[in-house]
Structure 1
Amino acid sequence: MAHILKFWVRVIFVALLSMGAAFTTAAHEVEPAVADAQVSADRVDITIRMAVEPILAGIDLAGVSDVNDSPLSGRNDALRALPPAELATALTDAWPQIARRMTLMAGETELMPELTGTTIPDVGNPELRRDSTLILTAALPEDGTEVVFGWDAGLGSLILRQVGEGATYEVFLTGGALSDPMPRIGVADQSLGEVVSRYTVSGFIHVIPDGLDHILFVLGLYFFALALRPLVWQVTAFTVAHTLTLALATTGVIAIPDNWMWAVETVIAASIVYVAVENIWGGEKTDIGWTRIGVVFLFGLVHGLGFASVLSEFGVGSHFVASLVSFAIGLEIGHLTVIAVAFLVLGLPFGQRSFYRRACVIPGSLLIAAVGAYWVLNRIGLVGDLPYLT
């Protein structure tokens, strides 16, 4: 019993030390950039809509879900407050360094993208993301080779689209991945195997490391009961619901206005509190009712809305069903990975001990509920962001 208490003391201590990085998620969420590529016989033009402030601030967006997770977040906020002309000047000055982090190739020929135009909105609420539009251009060699584009992971994830006559190529690039070769006539073609592989990995990354809300929610499901049946039912219901929301978003059935995303984020945070607190109410559970499964399913729909706001303007190309199913498989693998780690750390060594509930389930659920409760208060504006702790 004593070593279990020592374990939770360490967990809580680490959680307190990382408050600045963990408790402010979704206040300034990092969203993918969206790029449209036009490839012709002699040139490539790429129009990108993205927030340039985090890049200019020097924030590494690899695996970061919130810019406030960086000690450079203050610099990012200062850049958000710059008038468009001053921000455009800063972008132009930094462009040579930014361009070197991009990969643009025609066959084996490396190309340097030239920044030929920028459109930066006026200063609005400095607490909100400001999307600028960048136009990149590069001349192509006369050999007719196909074009590949991408950038390093530190610039964040990227939705890339190429539209041709009657066809569209769309891909979601994460972790510094590159596009498929884009021809000068027509659009890039993805094989079914490439789609399955890419979207499975993207689904997993959406949970680990990018989805702290997913991780905490699934841990809340884990602490409900150690029995396999209720755990699998809950996790599967959550994954199916999340995928259903994404399907509705990518087909344009639903679209959440930006000014309502705070409500979605608040409900997501509240869902984490709910599943954690419910673990504490009753006694030890060995089975699950349909009410709990239904509640988890509804929360899964809302969690999907948080990501659907990005995918609402992004179809998944010609392999729609395969892309969606593969992303769902990646989500499920990520969720099950969280469960497996929790089982190996807590369930396997202590699950059959008499003190498991009072020493593991209740403290763990309380910690999860505390994080979720802070997020709720933060998202409705009752408490501010905690300072980043170095």
Structure 2
Amino acid sequence: MAWLLSMLAVASPAHEVQPAVADVEVGADAVTIQLRTALEPLIAGIDLSTIEDTNDSPLSDQNDALRRLSPEELRAATEEAWPAIAAQITLQAGEQPLTPVLETVDIPEVGDPEIRRDSILTLTAALPDGDAPVIFGWDSELGGLVVRQVADGESYDDFLTGGALSEPMPRTGVAEQSLGDVVVRYLISGFDHIIPKGLDHILFVLGLFFYALAWRPLLWQVTAFTAAHTVTLALATLGIVNIADDAMWIVEAIIAASIVYVAVENVLVARRGRVVAAAAAGGGTVRVEAVDAPTITPARIAVVFAFGLLHGLGFASVLSEFGLGEHFVASLIAFNVGVELGQLAVIAVALLLVWATFEVLGRRLHPESEGFRAISVVGSLLIGAVGLWWVIERTLLG
């Protein structure tokens, strides 16, 4: 179980780092960008491409100190740091680089320093003569970036990661994206939100895996989980469901509790199996090598579905920023398929490692084996312990 222990050693709450949102207006002579983002990690110099929570950065103390600054103090810090931040921004007209000018900085008052504080920056740049389109993006260290352009009743929405740049945004109309580009980008983004960024989702999926090795119970659980978070992803993206930033801790705490629940139920199911085996042996000393595999129950499916709705809200913080663009449905489906591929990859790796363990021990791997029951109990206890810590951290310590 060393692979699971190493994963749990780096466990931390997810969804703290969220993408910035840039609304781009391209005119005949100038481009204006309204950028909504958390300024504190940018000023502190935190590399947002490698973490999912600012607390995971060695610069987290600086970030926390900046969160406590008044709007006036943070505005001064932003202006001082702006040359370094601007150097990480790509803004160009065709092939000609443009220099973004920081016009205004709108910073909310200090609230709960544990909650992300979004500020709004207004950037402008003069455009050269001609009709060269505008391209915008920034380095991967600044995190994910949602780019939106609306003009003449049309819209362009893109989610940029890894330092990717927007499609060329024309001075009349909006940028165009091919269906293939949209599918590939959102497929990768959905997978990335499971591996490596979605540790809480990974642990929940492992909880489903440890319930039973048999394919039928696993298929029913994964299907229920998939259907549920597809529903909340769609509702959040359409703006029907909207969770305020200061209420996300509730969702995160319940997600952690869902991990604890499935882990505890796994242990109870495995324990019931051993009791049945002992009874079948007549209370003697006969070693029982196999017992009946756990069967899936409607109650388990209902619980997994309910928790899947909440896990979908965890993903929705990204897609909820998007409007109903030309490829909205394709974007939603591709992102969700990427999530499912990530979950299947988690299950495949877990199955491979369990199989390798049995091979080393010279035992045959099958759903009814006592060996798998033992692995299920140990794995579930480890997962449940992390989930319980997250519940405490996201409620009592948050």
How far apart in 1 are the matches of 2:55 and 2:348? Answer: 29
In structure 2, the partner of 1:62 is 49
Greater alpha carbon shift after TM alignment, 354-363 vs 295-304: 354-363
1:110 aligns with 2:97: yes
Picking from 1, 17, 23, the partner of 2:12 is 23
1:233 aligns with 2:241: no
Picking from 232, 238, 241, the partner of 1:254 is 241
What's the CA shift for 1:287?
A: 3.6
In structure 1, the partner of 2:201 is 214
In structure 1, the partner of 2:285 is none
Superposed, 1:308-387 pairs within 5 Å as 308-350=316-358, 352=365, 354-381=369-396, 383=397
Picking from 291, 300, 309, the partner of 1:301 is 309
How far apart in 2 are the matches of 1:217 and 1:316? Answer: 31
Letter in 2 for 1:297: F
What's the CA shift for 1:355?
A: 5.0
What's the CA shift for 1:175?
A: 2.0
Contact 1:146 1:182 in 2 (8 A): yes
Contact 2:257 2:388 in 1 (8 A): yes
What's the CA shift for 1:289?
A: 2.5
In structure 2, the partner of 1:3 is none
Picking from 117, 128, 133, the partner of 1:130 is 117
How far apart in 1 are the matches of 2:324 and 2:83? Answer: 32
Q: 1:286 to 1:358 in 2, by over 3 A?
A: closer
Describe the superposition over 1:10-41 as per-residue Cα deviations: whole angstroms up to 9, x where unpaired: 754x467x4xx523445xx1111111000011
Greater alpha carbon shift after TM alignment, 222-231 vs 35-44: 222-231
Q: 1:100 to 1:316 in 2, by over 3 A?
A: farther
In structure 2, the partner of 1:278 is 265
Q: 1:316 to 1:373 in 2, by over 3 A?
A: farther
**Where does the alignment leave 5 or more consecutive residues of structure 1 unmatched?**
1-6, 385-390
Describe the superposition over 1:51-92 as per-residue Cα deviations: whole angstroms up to 9, x where unpaired: 010111121111421111112111100011111122111111
Letter in 1 for 2:336: A
Greater alpha carbon shift after TM alignment, 342-351 vs 49-58: 342-351
Contact 2:155 2:323 in 1 (8 A): no
In structure 1, the partner of 2:79 is 92
Contact 2:12 2:53 in 1 (8 A): no
Structure 1 or 2, whichever has the larger Rg, is 2
What's the CA shift for 1:107?
A: 1.2
Residue aligned with 2:346, SS: helix
Superposed CA RMSD: 1.9
How far apart in 2 are the matches of 1:44 and 1:163? Answer: 13
What's the CA shift for 1:356?
A: 2.5
What's the CA shift for 1:337?
A: 0.7
Residue aligned with 1:207, SS: coil
Residue aligned with 1:22, SS: coil
In structure 2, the partner of 1:74 is 61
1:292 aligns with 2:300: yes
Letter in 2 for 1:54: P
Contact 2:269 2:294 in 1 (8 A): no
Greater alpha carbon shift after TM alignment, 279-288 vs 118-127: 279-288
What's the CA shift for 1:267?
A: 0.9
How far apart in 2 are the matches of 1:316 and 1:369? Answer: 39
Greater alpha carbon shift after TM alignment, 194-203 vs 341-350: 341-350
How far apart in 2 are the matches of 1:105 and 1:208? Answer: 33
Letter in 1 for 2:354: L
The percent identity for this pair of structures is 60
Contact 1:171 1:316 in 2 (8 A): no
How far apart in 2 are the matches of 1:364 and 1:286? Answer: 16
Residue aligned with 1:98, SS: helix
Residue aligned with 1:150, SS: strand
How far apart in 2 are the matches of 1:49 and 1:88? Answer: 14
In structure 2, the partner of 1:186 is 173
Letter in 2 for 1:338: V
Q: 1:32 to 1:81 in 2, by over 3 A?
A: same
In structure 2, the partner of 1:264 is 251
Q: 1:115 to 1:23 in 2, by over 3 A?
A: same
How far apart in 1 are the matches of 2:327 and 2:59? Answer: 39
Greater alpha carbon shift after TM alignment, 229-238 vs 264-273: 229-238
Residue aligned with 2:193, SS: helix
What's the CA shift for 1:313?
A: 4.1
In structure 1, the partner of 2:134 is 147
In structure 2, the partner of 1:4 is none
Contact 2:21 2:321 in 1 (8 A): no
Contact 2:18 2:144 in 1 (8 A): yes
